[in-house]
Amino acid sequence: DAHKFIAIDGPAGSGKSSVSKAVARTLGFGYLDTGSAYRALAWHVLDQGADTDDPETVRAAASAFPLTLGLDPDERTVLVGDVDVTEAIRDPRVSGAVSGVARVPEVRAQVNEMFRRLVAESSYPAVVVEGRDITTVVAPDAPVRILLTAAPEVRAARRAGELAGENAAAVAAALHKRDASDSAVVDFLNAAEGVEVVDSTELDFPQTIDAVLTVIERIQ
């Protein structure tokens, strides 16, 4: 039941989170940041002092994972149990560990089911769902499927700008490392058949939103 999905994939620093959120607000749709589920699980494993690169540990943590994730683009609180991890999951320590967690196939299957259920049960007419494998695995039958890309230098520069004060070269290195491990699991650097590419390299934020809205209007 993929008709409620607006599927948007892309690499880190492509701007997909801020763009997807803005598009959802503009259209009165829900917004689901699937990366935050993987981040929250990585946070949870780290919080237990356990190894995020051990599949067995990660599977065990995922099987009893009390995650709360909403679809309101203006209310982005993420809870693990009753702990508010909204800020903590953006920590570079979590970013560095998240690929290990996301690599475990059973974990992916489990969170994908949760995403499909969240969207199906929501009262929104549609939900902008962003991640790495939404257009290909989570909702390959979605009416709107977009790959948001940007040149690697541009993505690194945007990410460095977000994390003011941090060393830009270190940010770029961490981002490329994460993209390399992530793209070994799912290909989000090339568009699958039927997926529309929006390249934001030469676009500013409002122009990127417009480009995505244009694709949605054309298809829907």
Phi and psi at residue 87, to the nearest 5°:
-80, -45
Considering beta carbons, is residue 38 or 65 the nearer one to ligand C5P?
38
Distance separating alpha carbons of residues 67 and 79, to the nearest angstrom: 6
Query: Where do we find the tokens 């829900």?
Result: 30
Contact flag: residue 133 with ligand C5P (CB under 6 A): yes
Contact flag: residue 21 with ligand C5P (CB under 6 A): no
Considering beta carbons, is residue 27 or 97 the nearer one to ligand C5P?
97
Stretch that binds ligand C5P, among 75-83, 132-140, 165-173, 211-219 (CB under 6 A): 132-140
**Number of residues near ligand C5P (by CB under 6 A):** 14
Considering beta carbons, is residue 113 or 123 the nearer one to ligand C5P?
113
**3-class SS of residue 186:** coil
On the 0-12 / 13-18 / 19+ scale of CB atoms within 10 A, 7 is buried
Considering beta carbons, is residue 8 or 209 the nearer one to ligand C5P?
8
Phi and psi at residue 81, to the nearest 5°:
65, -125
Contact flag: residue 178 with ligand C5P (CB under 6 A): yes
Angle, in degrees to the nearest 10, between helices 205-219 and 16-27: 60
**What residues between 92 and 121 interact with ligand C5P by CB under 6 A?**
98-99, 102
192 CB neighbour count, 10 Å cutoff? 15
Where on the chain is the footprint of ligand C5P (CB under 6 A)? 12, 34-35, 38-39, 98-99, 102, 131-134, 178, 182
